[in-house]
Every structure is written in structure tokens, then in C-alpha cells.
Amino acid sequence: MLELTGLTAGYHGGTVLHDLDLTVPAGSVHAIVGHNGAGKTTLVHTVAGFIRPSAGSVRLNGREMTGQPAHKVARAGIGLVPQGRRVFAGLTVAEHLRLSYRPPGRGDTSRPSRWTPERVLELLPRLGERRGNRGTDLSGGEQQMLALARALLGSPSVLLLDEPTEGLAPLLAKQVYELVGTLAEEGIAVLLVSPSPAQAAECARTVTVLTSGRVTLRVDGADARTDPTALHEALELTPVRTAAR
Amino acid sequence: MDLLDAHFVPAVDGVAYGLLLFVVAAGLSLAFGTAGVLNLSHGTLYAIGAYTGAELSDGTWGGLAVGLAAGTAAAAAAGAGLSAATIPLARRGHLAQALLTFGLALIGGNLLIEFFGADDLPVRVPEALDSSVTLLGHRYPAYRLCFILMAVLLAAFGTWVLTRTRVGAAVRASADDPQMLATTGHSPRAVHTGVLAAAGALAGAAGVLGAPIIGPGAGTADTVLMLSLVVVVLGGLRSLWMTLLAAIAVGEVQTLGVSLAPDLAPYLLFAAMAAVLILRSQFTEPATAGAHGGGDGGSDPVAWLRRRLSASFSGRRAATATAEKAVAEKAVADRREPVPSASGGPLRRLLSGGRDDGGLAARGRKAAPLLALLVLLIALPTLLDAYTLSLAGSALALGLLAISVAILTGYAGLPTLGQTAPFAVGAYATANLADAGWTAGPVQIVVAAIAAALFSLVTGPAVIRARGTTVLMITLAIGELASAAINQLKSLTGGADGLVGFPPTQALFGGEGMVEESEVYNYALAVAVISVVVTVLVLRSPAGKLLTGTRNAEARMRASGHPVGRYLLIAHIGAGALAGVGGSLMVTVQQYLSPADVGFEIAAFALLAAVIGGSTSVIGALLGAGLIVFTRDWVASSWPGHGPLLLGALFVAAVYLLPRGLAGLRLGSGPGGRGAAKADQLPPDHDSVPAGKVAP
Amino acid sequence: MTATTAPSTAPVLDLKNLTRRYGSLTAVDDVSLRLPSGARHAVIGPNGAGKTTLLNLIAGTDRPDHGTIALGGTDITRTATARRSGLGIARSFQQPSVIGELSVLDNIVLAGWRHHPLRRGAWWRPSRYRQHAESATRHLEAVGLADSAARPAADLSHGQRRMLDLAAALAGDPRLLLLDEPAAGLTDGDIGRLLTILGGLPSSVAIILVEHHVEVVAELAETVTVLAAGRVLITGPTKEALAHPEVRDAYHATAAGQIGADRDGAPEAAPDGVRDTAEARG
């Protein structure tokens, strides 16, 4: 379970994220939606340990993670699939898998499941066919699979997905969302940043709307599916025309 | 066949030499390409290994083994220390790193001489290898053959680790994206430390094993650094095989080349390096131009090299410019940009160029410290003894060189290690003029300036197309080529002996030659003041804004129709002329001229003086040069033999204590400001001024 | 693959079969485009589709491997960036490009310098420089930055930098204006002002707009080119292009579920919500 309380963070003195509370129970998907600049990626980067929060805390299964460096956050069981995939350009798929494979310690019972390269390849067979190819030689979809594999090989209890369908064809995007559902069923807590409120509502148990770094709405995924009006209003998608005229 | 026969031994020597360089250069390029550290103390790491190996070598296998272990470990530890020292500088760019590592190299070199003595140490190889074997009908030292074998093994092992192991994958991943490496549970900091330790270990091992080839001595570190820089540049970091090829080529030039064509060999290396760099910067020019000063950082040659190291061009990773990223980038960009000169005392405003146009009163206030400095400089002849006064004169000459470097580095964005070349042109022109009887000061100054400007016009096109670290390398090559030319053109330069015994300069037409130190000093001061005033006026005119625009946002300037290349060329010529004037002054002050006065060390000092001064500050560069001459010649005279140590300490302190240089000093107005100005300006009644004292 | 607006005069811009490769990646693939004087044209498509590369080819910061570029009938394929600026091409940058150390006013003075009738001697004559500053002030007023004229450009907010970048592009009185995501990172109020400024430009100025924000595209552009993986998917009038089945299909996953997708028949999701069908070709 991932718990954020009073999280406040930003870059070099500027605050992007204000006093954010958020919980992702094990085995569920929590979706974040919001406009560009709302602080979605800042949120993900703060949880991943890239940014040190100026206030508030990040807890993983009750364990204090606030201010830990990124590699310790990763070792503790928080996996990240970053925006733009960011696979290693010069490493082959096989090297990615080898570098990322990090079985949890024997005493660590908090992990929902153990991932090995074999199991990852079973789930994502396409990567097996591309073992010898470098990161840059992969298509967008394959890079996305590789970024997911990289995160899974740490056997995470929490998975941070930052716009995982960015740049993917609709069919592939659908597969990614199905995959996210499967992983949550395994017991992983998924924090999903989604560009699309509809998709977020489709697969998430809870949807949080972020506006200028603050939570402006939190709704049940099921409610948002049946009646998206509240979500739509919170996102206020049409001010441009009125401003122009 | 005869030709081949006669040169067989040098050719095999070249292979051994090349493999030695490959091992050293591999460490340098590892540190540069994957840890982002431009390590100018890499040669010192080699020297650590070489000295340790020589000290422990007693002609037995055990001695060699102990030496290898100890030398490797010592150099690895030094590399790890370097990692700790450079991590805080990660955001400060490569000039800060260069300043730091150069300072550390000076300190390290001085300490090594302290411990092991100034003479070259004899190296004893194990007796079993201290013989010669017959190779294709030639006698050849067994040790060298054995060395070739060991170097091949070492290179193969390193390549295997880097390309085949998980550790190697982590290193390459870290070069590509350290943040993402962290998400796989590996500490990027540990990788950084590990890479620099490994680079140190490679240099150290090469030092121990290569001691019989490039032995431990006072010039070892410089030689090794220069040659491995050439190898890295020629090899291009693209692949280890290219580095190997480049290393062998350099080794052959150093051995076979010298035996075949002794006259050409000195030029060959640096000419090849310059050619490769210039060609490469032409190929990448469009992308560079597009990205410089506002794009995705593609203009940074290190970033470029890193990308090259990892893979071919990655166009797929399109930057998604979310506003969040924009905030972050803006914040980073803001940190890099100098704080506007609104706050702080008058000295600070003066040092940072004082770009705001205040009223008359404000101008008066701003000018006050400048006037105080001028008064102090004018009063120096009454305060100082003759020797110190001549040092002050040298400082003025070096100061003009430093200002010329600051114009290129700070204003034009072309960090240069080659301004000693136009400086030398001015100096040798003056000396030759004097020799020919043209002793009138104005004639010497004008001819020196014109000659240096012409020289810069010729070299300019090679310099202005590149950016960042590539410029450093191209200008380094130009400086070294000039040095080689100086050593060869004996009729004009006196070769290594230098020039001496030419008549003294006359301040004006007619009149007596200046012999009194105070006369010479006043002449130097007058020339320096005129040069500084002209420079400041030009830089503060709209022409200076054109340069600032080019440096800050080159893509914007081009898109607005500015012929950026022409501006940079004009700046390069102007800076060259100024350096020429400095060279002329130096000859007048010193009354002799040797190649060491215009060598790499002086080029480095000038760059460091400009950096210490704050890069975009004319007066800062002048003060920086003063501080360096003061430390090297004046403070060091009370602690003989420790000039490099003191200078190194000065550079290291400047990196950490003065992140914005002297121009960044936050000094209150009033007595504090003037006091510090004096501290910079070398008061004669102190034994030493610790560099830290000028920091707030 | 040609814009459908009737060419009454010589086209201000004529691209023929432009191709640009980086290694194995073809960023711009056989793109042809013809724009009449005063055209308002948008280029949309997923990230990595080659939009910025296309702008760079037109502006001259990048050179095509194949194809030709003509401005007002003159071939400029091999012309340097600075010369193209003199011929009337101006641009804004994806990351706003400002001279941080200089004042806002000086930024515009430098931007307009080479286009000013009194450019000779301005580098050393203060009176000439003052005349430049007067025209620069007018451009600053147009984008609402006149009050900040004396501030260093480094102090500006992101939105203000965008406006300054735009003012710098306009300072040369261009006949072809290239805008690279001018609305990215802007607040809604800023976007409104941006639309007002661009809408108020003389009709002789042709605009090529690269923009993710479909609202801005729909508001400003008369014609649209959709790029995917470097190739032109479709070129046509804005509404037709956005309603084209292939485009709708490419946008389907987000557009279908997108709030307000039915307004004006234009999907409101930024096109990068779902990208590059072609990029996923394995």
C-alpha cells in the first residue's frame, strides 16, 4: 500500500504540488488525471525519489520512504514506468532484463509476487523476439513493454505508470490498460497517470483530478464510468474559446 | 624492404607505446564519456602509478607484483576521491571541473616531486625480462614484448567488463540516463565513484607497467594527459576499437614518425586532432546551431559524446515538453545564468560589467572602485621593490591575455586554451622588431596587435564553428601546434633557448630605451589601461549585446537574421589582437622570451584566471591573472618549490568558494569592498593571502 | 499532398518532397506542401511525427536530404538560416528562446536589428540604438510586455517568455511565421491573448503553426496537415482534416471518450493523447 500525506514538492524552490493526500491500497489502480502542468509528473517523480518533498510524507506498506534516494526507493519495492519510456538507448533488451532483475530479499514478504526474466518474457513475449536489439531500435510499443519489464523485474509492491499509453496505437493502448488490470489483480498497487479521463475511469478504482498541484476532485471509478459529469466539470476543458472571444 | 627493416624496432615500439596510451586513454574516456568528468588530472593518476611502481621495483617478479597492486590501488583511491570532489560540481559545467582537476593535478604533481624527488626515477624490470629477444631478426627488449601482451590482456578484460557484464551494463546505462538507472535499484552515485576509481586503476596500472616506456618524472603527467587527450579526441569515444586504432596511430607517430620524419612529427598529432575536431563539428553543425542555447542541450559536446557512446542518434525519444518539465528546465537554466547585477556592492557591479545604465551619480559610484584600483596601480612603483614591480608588470601582460580569454570564453561562449598562440605571435613579433631596431613602443604594440589579429583571422574559422568542450580541444591543438612551430622556427624564435639580448623598448618614438623597472611598469600600465578601456567600451556598446545574444540564444539570433559566425569571427580577431598586445608587453617587461612563456601552462593559467574572475568580467580576469602571478611568483618565493601546490590550492579553493568567480563576490559597499579589492591586488606587506580570505 | 487553398498568386512557401533522415530514423518523409500568401496552416500529429523537424527544415536550422524549399518562388533549400530570416521567415521555438542576460527590450532590439531600415552603425551609435528601441517598444506593447521592458529576460515567467519569443519572431515583420507549439505551458488567459495577437496579424503574413492544442488549431488555422511518422497523413481544410476517418481513427482511443469531443466536431484531446500508429509498427 502506498500512502502520501500532505505531500508538497517542486523544483528549485518553486512549489508545484501542494499538500497532497493519496492512498493506493494493494491490488487496486488509482488514476491521476489533470492538465499539462497540473503536477502529475512531479507527483510521480516525488514518489520515485527524484525530487525531495519540502513537506509531507511517502509511506510504503507503513515504511517511511520520504527523502530516500531513488535507488533505495526502487529497492524498497516501488517500480516506475516513466513518461517517454526512457529505455537505455545503448543496452539490448537482454541487458535491460539482466540489469533490472533484482529478486527481493528472502525475508521480504511484502511483495505481491516475484518476477523473473522468464516470467516477464512469458507476459511480454514480443520482448523475447527482440532480445538482441538495442533500446533505440525498438518501436514505441516495444519500448513501452521494455519499460514495464524493467519496473516489474524489481518485483514491486507499487507500480508508478506515467502516461504509459503515450504514443501507442489505440489497440496497443488497450492492451496496456488490460495489462495494468492484470497486474493489479496480482496485488500490486498501481498509481496511473493518464492523459484521458475516460480511460482512467475505465480501469481505476479511484480517480483523482489534479489542478495546479491540488486535488480538486476524487471520485470512485465506477461512479465516474456511469456519470462522468463531475469529472468533466473538474477538468473544465473548454475555457479557451471563451477567453479568445 | 630495407626501409621496413630499418624501422622495424620503432614500429614495434609504436605498438607498445600505443597500447600504453590506449589503456590510459580508455580510463580518460570512461571518466569523460560515462561519468561526465573532464579529468585534467588523469596524467597525474598515471604518474602515481609510475612513481609507485618505480619505487617498489627491485628487479624481481615480487617487486613488480607489489608495485602493480600498490600503484593500481593508490590511483584507484585517487580516482574515487576525485569522484567525491566532482559530484558537488555536477551542475556547474565542464569549466569548473577543468579548474578543479587542473588544480588537483598541480597539487598532485608537486606532492609527487616532494616525495620522490625532481629527478626521473630509474625503473628496474624483473631480471628475467631485462634482456632482449630476437624478433624477425631484430633484437628487441623482452619487457616491451611482455608489456604488449599485458596491455592486450588488460584492454580485453576492460572491454569484456564494459560490454559483457552487468556492471558494464550499469555503467553504460548510467551514461545514458542515471535517473532510470536508479529506478532499477542501482545507485548512480556508486556507479560514478566506481567509474572514476576504475579509470584511476587503469591509469595507475598503466603507470606501473608502462614506467619503463614513459618513466616517472616531472613532465610525465603532462605528456600522458596530452597524448591521451589526443587519443580520445581522435578515437571519438564512439567505440573502443576506434580508441585503440587512434592510440596505436599516436604511438606510431611518437616512435616511427620521429624516426622517419623528425621535423614533421611534432605537428602531426595536433594537426590530426584539430582536423578531426573541425570536421566533426562541421558535420554536426546544423543540429548544434539549432539546439545551442535553448534546445534540448544537444549543443553540449559531452552530451553528444555520451549519446554517441551509448548508441546512434536516438530520434525516437521525442521530448514531451510538458509545463512541468518547462518549470524544471527553467529553474535549471536560471541557476546557470548569472544573477543580474542589481544587488551587491559597487565592486561586484563593477566586476560583473555593470550593465544597468544608471544616472551620473550611479555611474560615479560604480566607477569609484575602478578609480581606487587605478590609483593603487599607479601608486605601485612607490610601494614595491624592483623585483615585485616587474612581477606586477608581468601580471598586467598576463592580465591582457586573461581578458582576451574572458572575451572568448565569457562573451562569445568559446572557452579557449589556445590564446597563447596569438599571445606568442605578438611576443615574437615584438622581440624580432626590437632585434631589428624597431624599438618604439607604439610601433611594437600596433605590429603585435595586427600580427596576432591576422593569425586569429586564419585560425578563427576552425574555432568558431564548434562549441563548448570541442572548442577547448581545438584551441588546445592550435596552441600546441604553435608551440611546435616555435620550437622549430629557430631563426625567428631561437627555438627552445628563446630570445634574449634585444634592445629595450622606448615608451614613445625616439627617447631612451626603458631600463628602470618603474619606467617599464608605467609603460605596461598605460598600455594595459588603454586596452582595458577600449575593450570595456566595445563590450558595453550594442556590439557587446550582440555577443551576449549569441552566447545566450544562438538559435534565436540566427533566426532573427544575425550572421552569428561573422560576430564570433570578429570577436575572435579582436581577442587575438588583445592577446598580441599582452604578448608584446610581456616581452618589454621581461626582456627575454622563451617557449615556456607561451606554453600550455600559460594558456591554462589564462583560462583559469578568466574563470576565477567570473568569465564575463574584464576586471575580474585582470584580478584573476594578478592573483595567479602573485601566488606563483611572489608567495611561492617564500616557500620555494611549492608554486604549483599553492596555485593548485588556489584553483581548488576558487572552484568551491567562488562559484561565480571574483565577479560573484557579494561585498558590501564601503571599506569592506575596498579592503577586498586590495586583498586581490596583492598588498606588499602580507606574507600570503589565503585564497579563502576573499570569499565572504 | 497539396494544400487545397486556391493559389491565386505564387505560393509564399512551396515544399517539394522534403525528406530528412537521422540514421535509420526518417523524421520527415517525402513531405510536399504549398502555401499561398497569408495562409493560416497548422501541422499536427503525434510526438515524434516530424513536426519540429519540418519547421527546422523550413527555417534552415536543419537541411533536407532530399527535396526543395522555395520561398515566394525563390529556391532557398541551401540558404543559411540568417539569410532566410532576411527573406522574411521568422520563427518561435518550442522552448522559448530568450537572451536571459539582456533586458526584455534589448531582446527585441536584437531580434529586429537586421530588419530595421537603420541597422547600419547601430552597433556603435547610441542614437541609432535608441531608434531601434522605439520600434522594439511597439512590438512589446503588442504582446503586453511593455511594462517589463527593463527587466532581465531571465526573470520572466514561462508564459512571458513565450510572449517574448513571439514578439522576437514578429520583430522582423516576416511574411512567413513559423510557430512551434506557441500555446504549450500557457494558462488559458495567455492562450486567449496569444489567439488575439495572432488573429490580429496582417493578412499578408502566412503562418505555419505546430500545435498540440486542438482548440488553438481550430481557432486559428484554415488548413491543416496531419503528420505521422514523418509522412503526410492528410492535408485539407481544418474541419475536414480533423474529421477525416483516418485521423479520427488515430485519435480514437482518447477522442471517443474525450469530454466535449462532440463540440464543433473536433476532438479536443491533444493529438498526442494517442500517438503514432506507425511508430508501433514493429
Domains for chain C: give ranges and CATH numbers: 1-88+174-206+216-282 (3.40.50.300), 101-173 (no CATH)
pLDDT in tens, C116-131: 887 777 777 777 888 8
B78 versus B140: the higher-pLDDT residue is B78
Considering only alpha carbons, which residue of chain C is nearest residue A35?
C185
Q: Do A36 and B323 touch (CB under 8 A)?
A: yes
* Residue B432 vs residues B322, B429, B448, B536: alpha-carbon distances, Å: 62, 5, 10, 30
Q: Residue C96 region, left (φ>0) first, then alpha (ψ -120 to 50), else beta?
A: beta
| Per-residue confidence (pLDDT) for residue B270, from 0 to 100 | 84
H or E element in which residue B140 lies: strand B138-141
Instruction: Provide the residue count of chain B.
Output: 696
Residues A90-117 have a mean pLDDT of 88
Span B612-634, mean pLDDT? 85
**Stretch B3-25: mean pLDDT, rounded?**
85
Select the residue from B186, B316, B327, B334 to test the A interface by mutation, using most A Cβ atoms within 10 A.
B316
Between CA B466 and CA B274 the distance in angstroms is 11
The closest of C263, C193, C270 to A34, measured between CA atoms, is C270
The C-alpha cell at B527 is 598600455
The 3-state secondary structure of chain A, one letter per residue = CEEEEEEEEEECCEEEEEEEEEEECCCCEEEEECCCCCCHHHHHHHHHCCCCCCEEEEEECCEECCCCCHHHHHHHCEEEECCCCCCCCCCEHHHHHHHHCCCCCCCCCCCCCCCCHHHHHHHCHHHHHCCCCEHHHCCHHHHHHHHHHHHHCCCCCEEEEECCCCCCCHHHHHHHHHHHHHHHHCCCEEEEECCCHHHHHHHCCEEEEEECCEEEEEEEHHHHHHCCHHHHHHHCCCHHHHHHC
Question: What gap in Å lies between CA C217 and CA C238, rounded to an integer?
Answer: 8
Contact C59, C87 (CB under 8 A): no
Residues B6, B17 contacting (CB under 8 angstroms)? no
Residues with Cβ < 8 Å from B429, sequence gap 6 or more? B444, B447, B448, B451, B452, B580, B583, B584
User: Which residues, in sequence order, are CB contacts of C234 under 8 Å at separation 6+?
Assistant: C224, C225, C226, C241, C244, C246, C247
Q: Mean of the pLDDT values across residues B602-610?
A: 90
Cell matching residue B51: 612513481
pLDDT score for A23: 94
Rounded distance, CA B678 to CA B375, Å? 11
Report the residue from B173, B309, B322 with minimal CB separation from A99: B173
* Angstrom distance (rounded) from CA B27 to CA B34: 10
User: Cell 569571427 appears where?
Assistant: B569
> Would you state the pLDDT for residue A27?
93
Nearest-angstrom CA–CA distance, A45 and A9: 10
Helices and strands, number each (H, E), in chain C:
9, 10
Contact in structure between C176 and C69 (CB atoms under 8 Å) = no
How far is the alpha carbon of C260 from chain A, nearest alpha carbon, in Å?
A: 7
Q: How does residue B367 score in pLDDT terms, banded at 50, 70 and 90?
A: low
Where do the domains of chain B lie, and which CATH numbers do they carry?
2-257 (1.10.3470), 346-694 (1.10.3470)
Residue B360 has pLDDT above 90, yes or no: no
Say yes or no for a CB contact (<8 Å) between A165 and C257: no
pLDDT tier at B633 (50, 70, 90 boundaries)? confident
Q: Nine-digit cell at B645?
A: 601546490
Q: What is the pLDDT of residues B314-344, one digit of tens each?
A: 333 333 333 334 334 444 433 333 333 333 3
- Closest residue in B to C111 (Cα) is B560
Note the pLDDT of residue A201.
85
- Mean pLDDT across B392-417: 92
- Range of weakest confidence among B337-351, B399-413, C9-23: B337-351
Q: What three-state secondary structure class fits B443?
A: helix
Q: What is the arithmetic mean of pLDDT over B233-241?
A: 76
pLDDT digits (tens, 9 = 90+) for B176-221: 889 999 999 999 999 999 999 999 999 999 999 988 888 888 888 8
Distance CA B525, CA B350 (A): 19
Neighbours of A105 (CB within 10 A): 9
pLDDT at B474 over 80: yes
8 A C-beta contact, residue C12 and residue C33: no
Asked whether residue B292 carries a pLDDT value surpassing 60, the answer given is: no
Instruction: Give the C-alpha separation, C254 to A199, whole Å.
Output: 8
Average pLDDT over residues C19-40: 88
What pLDDT score was predicted for residue B316?
Answer: 30
Instruction: Report residue A147's pLDDT band, with 50, 70 and 90 as the boundaries.
Output: very high
Q: What pLDDT is stored for residue B151 in this prediction?
A: 87
Looking at A15-19, B88-92, B171-175, B679-683, which range is the least confident one?
B679-683
Minimal Cα–Cα distance from C73 to chain A, Å?
35
**Residue type at B14 in one-letter notation:** G
Rounded distance between C-alpha atoms, residue C21 and residue C52, angstroms: 13
**Domains of chain A, each with CATH number or no CATH:** 2-236 (3.40.50.300)
Q: Is it the case that residue B302 has pLDDT exceeding 60?
A: no
- The alpha carbon of residue A229 is apart from the nearest alpha carbon of chain B, in Å, by 26
Give dist(CA C168, CA C162) in Å, integer: 10
Over its C-alpha atoms, chain C yields an Rg (Å, rounded) of 19
**Which of A16, A44, A81, A95 has the highest number of chain B CBs within 10 A, making it the mutation to test binding with B?**
A95
A1: which residues sit within 8 A by CB, 6+ positions away? Answer: A23, A24, A25, A26, A60, A61, A62, A157, A189
Find the largest Cα–Cα distance for chain C. Answer: 63
Higher-pLDDT residue of A14 and A111 is A111
Q: Which of A34-38, A183-187, B216-220 has the lowest mean pLDDT?
A: A34-38
Q: Label residue B695 by pLDDT band (50, 70, 90).
A: very low
Rounded Cα–Cα distance for residues B453 and B458 (Å): 9
With cut-offs at 50, 70 and 90, classify the pLDDT of residue B150: confident
What confidence category does residue A135 fall into, taking pLDDT thresholds of 50, 70 and 90? confident
User: Element (H or E) spanning C224, and its range?
Assistant: strand C223-228
Count CB pairs under 8 A between chains A and C: 108
* Cβ contact, residue pair B324, A84, below 8 Å: no
Neighbours of B436 (CB within 10 A): 10
Q: Which three cell numbers stand for residue C11?
A: 505560393
Q: Do B183 and A70 touch (CB under 8 A)?
A: yes
Q: What is the CA radius of gyration of chain A?
A: 18
Please state the rounded mean pLDDT for residues C32-38: 92
Non-local CB neighbours of C222 within 8 Å, separated by 6+ positions: C5, C39, C40, C41, C237, C238
CA dist list (Å): C121 to B567, C110, C278: 14, 13, 53
**B510 band by pLDDT with thresholds 50, 70 and 90:** low
Q: Which of A16, A24, A33, A36 is nearest to A232 (CA)?
A: A33
Q: Nearest CA to B668 among B352, B348, B442?
A: B348
Residue range A41-50: mean pLDDT, rounded: 93
Residue C168 predicted with pLDDT over 90: yes
d(CA C4, CA B103): 66
Which chains touch C (3+ CB pairs under 8 A)?
A, B
* Partner-chain contact A41 B324, CB within 8 Å: yes
Highest mean pLDDT among B389-403, B455-469, C199-213: B389-403
Strand-pair partners of B500: B592
- Neighbours of A, requiring at least 3 CB pairs below 8 Å, are B, C
**Which of A85-99, A144-158, B332-346 has the weakest average pLDDT?**
B332-346
Identify the pLDDT of residue B47: 94
The closest alpha carbon to B352, from B103, B566, B662, belongs to B662
Q: How far is A205 from chain B (nearest CA, A)?
A: 26
Amino acid B194: pLDDT? 94
Please give the angle made by the CA atoms of B21, B25 and B29, to the nearest 5 degrees: 170
Task: Give the per-residue pLDDT at C164.
Answer: 93
Q: What is the mean pLDDT of residues B453-464?
A: 92
Q: What percentage of chain B reaches a pLDDT higher than 90?
A: 29
Selection from A47, A234, A16, C273 nearest residue B323 by Cα: A16
Residue B237 has a pLDDT of 67
Residue B11 Cα, gap to closest chain A Cα (Å): 36
On the question of pLDDT at B528 being above 50, the answer is: yes
Range with lowest mean pLDDT among B69-73, B472-476, B559-563: B472-476
pTM (2 d.p.): 0.78
Whether A167 shows a pLDDT value over 70: the answer reads: no
Alpha-carbon distance B484 to B495, whole Å?
9
Cell 534516494 found at: A69
Query: What single-letter DSSP state applies at residue B126?
Result: -
The pLDDT of residue B672 is above 60 = no
Residue B241 CB coordination number (10 Å):
10
Question: What would the grid cell of residue A69 be?
Answer: 534516494
* DSSP-assigned beta bridge partners for residue C89: C176
Give tens-digit pLDDT for B561-595. 999 999 999 999 999 999 999 999 999 998 889 98
Q: Of A183-197, B631-645, C241-255, give the range with the top mean pLDDT.
A: A183-197
Vertex B366: Cα angle to B360 and B372 (nearest 5): 120
Name which residue leads in pLDDT, C201 or C273.
Answer: C201
Instruction: Out of A12, A74, A90, name the one closest to residue B331 (CB).
Output: A12
Residues of C in contact with B549 (CB under 8 A): 99, 102, 107, 110
- Residue B682's alpha-carbon distances to B95, B98, B676, B678, in angstroms, are 26, 25, 10, 6
B298 touches B304 (CB < 8 A): yes
Mean of pLDDT over chain B: 79
Spatial contact of B607 and B415, defined as CB atoms under 8 Å apart: yes
Residues from chain A that touch B185, judged by Cβ atoms under 8 A, are: 71, 74-75, 100, 102, 154
How far does the CA of residue B185 sit from the closest CA of chain A (Å)? 4
Residue B501, CB-side half-sphere exposure with 13 Å CA sphere:
4
Q: Which residue has the cell 593518476?
A: B45
- Do B322 and A41 count as a contact with CB atoms less than 8 A apart? yes
Can you name the residues that pair with C13 across neighbouring β-strands?
C35, C71
What is the C-alpha separation between B375 and B687, in angstroms, rounded? 23
Say if the Cβ atoms of A95 and B314 lie within 8 Å.
no
C187 or B619: which carries more pLDDT confidence?
Answer: B619
- Stretch A169-183: mean pLDDT: 83
B139/B131 Cα distance (integer angstroms):
9
